[in-house]
């Protein structure tokens, strides 16, 4: 099953179901079993500029309607078609002018990362995953691309779930840290319970952090291993080609007994010297 991933200026969304745009436009890119939805930058055209563009299109359509009417085509059919086209143009221009924001799928199956640290960690993992995928074509038969794709997609899904959990822990941790004891005695049952929950949250916080780091390091290790092997193959191929070239050069026969370049320089110098002697009064 494909894993759908989208990132905008507000959040990162990871979902088992297809993503869509809430505002603006997006472009889908498929990498194996991962489908990324990438927002398209807004055009930046304001309402005045969009109105001018629409007016120019309307003028062209009006002329076209006149031509079609002269050819015997019912004017109302051309007018209806033109009106529909104009409505589509107006809607698409307005949509293209707005920033692209990804809609969160209904149902609660999507993981939504809005905290800066978790978003940055997942976007970094996604960038490293692209590096891993780029190594597969050159590794040839050393790996099974289909199996590697499934494993990498599962790793991205598991990382998203872990980071979403860590994001919830972050909020709970901040809420517990913000509680002030006031004038309660230190042995108050409420303060004892609060301290126990703080300790539990800290344990989970450290545990999820260590697990997330292991996942990130695992993906990075896979990228480095593939890139290192590719570099090794390229260096080996360069050395092999150099060896073949040297072998051809070494079998090209013995070097000339007299080198022509120094001889040419000596002869040129002798001619110039003789010319100068003749020119002397």
Q: How many domains does the chain have?
A: 2
Is residue 117 located within the same domain as residue 178?
A: yes
The count of other CB atoms within 10 Å of the CB of residue 152 is 22
- Per the prediction, the chain carries an average pLDDT of 85
Closest CA to 133 of 221, 226, 213: 226
Element at 107 (helix H, strand E): none
The pLDDT value recorded for residue 121 is 94
Is residue 81 located within the same domain as residue 216?
A: no
Is residue 178 located within the same domain as residue 219?
A: yes
Is residue 80 located within the same domain as residue 169?
A: no
Is residue 158 located within the same domain as residue 77?
A: no
Is residue 52 located within the same domain as residue 159?
A: no
Is residue 91 located within the same domain as residue 125?
A: no
Give the Cα separation of 193 and 172 in Å (integer).
15
The average pLDDT across 51-59 equals 80
The pLDDT value recorded for residue 257 is 57
Is residue 117 located within the same domain as residue 176?
A: yes
97: pLDDT strictly greater than 90: no
- Tell me the β-bridge partners of 102: 21
Which one of 81, 97, 113 terminates a domain? Answer: 97
The pLDDT value recorded for residue 213 is 92
The count of other CB atoms within 10 Å of the CB of residue 176 is 16
Stronger pLDDT, 62 or 124, i.e. the higher one: 124
The average pLDDT across 88-93 equals 78
Q: Is 3 helix (H, G, I), strand (E, B) or coil?
A: strand
Is residue 20 located within the same domain as residue 159?
A: yes
For the chain, the farthest-separated pair of C-alpha atoms sits apart, in whole angstroms, at: 122
Is residue 144 located within the same domain as residue 25?
A: yes
Which one of 80, 97, 114 terminates a domain? Answer: 97
Is residue 29 located within the same domain as residue 151?
A: yes
Angle between helices 47-70 and 75-97 (to 10 degrees): 160
The pLDDT value recorded for residue 225 is 87
- Tell me the β-bridge partners of 12: 7, 113
The pLDDT value recorded for residue 150 is 92
Q: How confident is the model at residue 207 (pLDDT cuts 50, 70, 90)?
A: very high
Token pair 């002269």 is found at 70
Q: Of 42-51, 178-187, 206-215, 259-268, give the range with the top mean pLDDT.
A: 206-215
249 lies in some domain: no
For 268, half-sphere exposure in the C-beta direction (CA atoms, 13 angstrom radius) is: 6
Q: How confident is the model at residue 256 (pLDDT cuts 50, 70, 90)?
A: low
Give the Cα separation of 97 and 51 in Å (integer).
13
166 lies in some domain: yes
261 lies in some domain: no
130: pLDDT strictly greater than 90: yes
Quick one: what percent of the chain has pLDDT higher than 70?
91
The average pLDDT across 48-53 equals 79
Q: Is 116 helix (H, G, I), strand (E, B) or coil?
A: helix
Q: What are the CA-CA distances from residue 173 to residues 83, 117, 170, 178, 228 (Å)?
A: 56, 15, 5, 9, 41
Stronger pLDDT, 133 or 270, i.e. the higher one: 133
281: pLDDT strictly greater than 60: no
Beta carbons within 8 Å of 122's beta carbon, 6+ residues apart: 12, 14, 113, 159, 160, 163
Q: How confident is the model at residue 271 (pLDDT cuts 50, 70, 90)?
A: low
The pLDDT value recorded for residue 258 is 57
Stronger pLDDT, 268 or 11, i.e. the higher one: 11
Q: Which domain holds residue 79?
A: 47-97
The average pLDDT across 92-115 equals 86
Is residue 87 located within the same domain as residue 124?
A: no
36: pLDDT strictly greater than 90: yes
166: pLDDT strictly greater than 60: yes
């Amino acid at each position: 099953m494909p894993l759908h991933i989208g990132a905008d200026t507000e959040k990162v969304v990871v979902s088992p179901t297809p993503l869509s745009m809430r505002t603006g436009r997006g472009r889908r890119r498929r990498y194996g079993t991962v489908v990324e939805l990438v927002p398209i930058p807004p055009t930046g055209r304001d309402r005045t500029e969009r109105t001018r563009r629409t007016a120019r299109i309307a003028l062209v359509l009006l002329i076209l309607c006149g031509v079609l009417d002269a050819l015997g085509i019912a004017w109302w059919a051309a007018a209806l078609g033109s009106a529909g086209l104009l409505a589509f143009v107006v809607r698409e221009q307005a949509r293209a002018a707005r920033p692209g924001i990804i809609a969160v799928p209904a149902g609660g199956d999507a993981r939504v990362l809005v905290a800066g640290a978790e978003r940055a960690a997942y976007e970094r993992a996604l960038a490293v995953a692209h590096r891993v995928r780029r190594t597969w074509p050159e590794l040839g038969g050393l790996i099974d691309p289909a199996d590697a794709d499934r494993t990498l997609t599962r790793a991205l899904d598991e990382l998203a779930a872990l980071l979403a959990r860590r994001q919830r822990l972050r909020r709970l941790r901040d809420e517990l840290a913000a509680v002030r004891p006031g004038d309660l005695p230190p042995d108050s049952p409420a303060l004892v319970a609060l301290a126990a929950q703080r300790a539990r949250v800290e344990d989970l916080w450290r545990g999820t952090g260590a697990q997330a780091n292991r996942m990130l390091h695992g993906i990075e290790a896979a990228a480095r291993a593939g890139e290192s092997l590719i570099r090794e193959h390229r260096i080996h191929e360069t050395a092999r080609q150099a060896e073949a070239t040297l072998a051809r050069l070494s079998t090209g026969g013995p070097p000339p007994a007299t080198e022509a370049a120094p001889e040419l320089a000596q002869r040129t110098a002798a001619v110039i010297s003789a010319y100068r002697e003749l020119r002397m009064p």
